Amino acid sequence: KAGVTQTPRYLIKTRGQQVTLSCSPISGHRSVSWYQQTPGQGLQFLFEYFSETQRNKGNFPGRFSGRQFSNSRSEMNVSTLELGDSALYLCASSLGRRGETQYFGPGTRLLVL
């Protein structure tokens, strides 16, 4: 099976812009979770989608949002970008059952100037 894919891999934006990141899970996986990785804060959970519904949410401002489509692909949107949003954004997919292993994509590196 193909692994988790994320597009784009690299992105440069300026403050105030918005950005949309995409994640395609492993075939058959219905859960997609998003994480932000920064040198200062480490890996932090953003949110999880399962069957097109947000099932869990981390402590991030409302500028961070997401959605999931019927084919389980997920998008994450960040509006009004700030310098501090520069990070590696990782998505992970799983079958969605409790305790299932999450498999990660290669990440999207976002740089906000």
Interaction site with other proteins (CB under 8 A): 31, 33, 35, 42-43, 45, 48, 50, 55-56, 58, 88, 90, 92, 94, 96, 98-107, 109
Min separation Cβ 80 and other proteins, Å: 25
Q: Which is nearer to other proteins, 16 or 61 (CB)?
A: 61
Which residue, 5 or 65, is less far from other proteins as judged by CB?
Answer: 5
Exposed e or buried b per residue across 68-99, where buried means at least 16 C-beta atoms within 10 angstroms of its C-beta? beeebbbbbebeebeeebbbebbbbbbebeee
Question: Which residue's CB is nearer to other proteins, number 9 or number 15?
Answer: 9
Question: β-pairing, 87-94 with 103-104?
Answer: antiparallel
User: d(Cα 67, Cα 62) in Å, to the nearest integer?
Assistant: 13
- Please calculate the CA angle 27-111-76 and round it to the nearest 5 degrees: 35
Q: How far is the CB of 31 from other proteins (least distance, A)?
A: 6
Find the shortest distance in angstroms from Cβ 95 to other proteins: 10
